[in-house]
Amino acid sequence: MNKIKVAIAGCSGRMGKALLEGILHSDDLTLHTALEHASSVQLGKDAGELVGNACGVKITANAEVALQGANVLIDFTRPEGTLQHLGICMKLGVPIVIGTTGFSAQQKAELGAAAQHIGIVFAPNMSVGVNLTFKLLEMASKVLSHGFDIEIIEAHHRHKVDSPSGTALGMGEVIAKTLGRDLAKCAVYGREGTTGERDPSTIGFATVRGGDIVGDHTVLFAGTGERIEITHKASSRSTFALGALRAARFLQGNAAGMYDMQDVLGLK
């Protein structure tokens, strides 16, 4: 059996290491290349040593050379770095799995344009459980469309740089779309002072940052006399890595286009 040749961007980061673990313990995947930024102290080292399992693949910053011959790139870095890698992937015809968050509307448009040429799985969260939660939120929003206030509470580790999380925003998008609302117009990202009564058409967001929290998300539907809470808690980054590897497998043989984890999991 020919193994799928996977490239990892940001291999020495928290998600990069989780992806390395998943690939090195997989029967159908092999590590093709491991990328880091040009000033990384890890350059030239064996990527497998980052997870205690030498594999013979040296960490490099030369993406254009390293991605040649790859079957797929998995990128959980920053928007600017992801877009640079995206340009190289288009040039080489390499599909890409993108777990990076914090893209602007213009940057998302660039992803959409690239999807006309290569296969892209782009999702704010690669966890199988989170994406099942998206489906549950769609169902709940249809039933609880009147008489319930909606609040999204998320918590992450102290090192996370964007807020709200991409997953929280993704949850908000699912709910807003189901309710026929525009999240850009109905989202409330903070409350302080005398804010007046809550507008029932809004979707509220609350953010917690602290410690080593991997990722907790709760959507609260608060009605009169009852409330429903739909919660997902991640205790390990391996759940995101396993989902991303599932997405990498999905892209093999699929046509160019923009996909998400709902496509990967067959939930559409």
Active-site annotation, residues: 156, 160
Three-state secondary structure string covering the chain:
CCCEEEEEECCCCHHHHHHHHHHHCCCCEEEEEEECCCCCCCCCCEHHHHHCCCCCCEEECCHHHHCCCCCEEEECCCHHHHHHHHHHHHHHCCCEEECCCCCCHHHHHHHHHHCCCCEEEECCCCCHHHHHHHHHHHHHHHHCCCCCEEEEEEEECCCCCCCCCHHHHHHHHHHHHHHCCCHHHHEECCCCCCCCCCCCCCEEEEEEECCCCCEEEEEEEECCCCEEEEEEEECCCHHHHHHHHHHHHHHCCCCCEEECHHHHCCCC
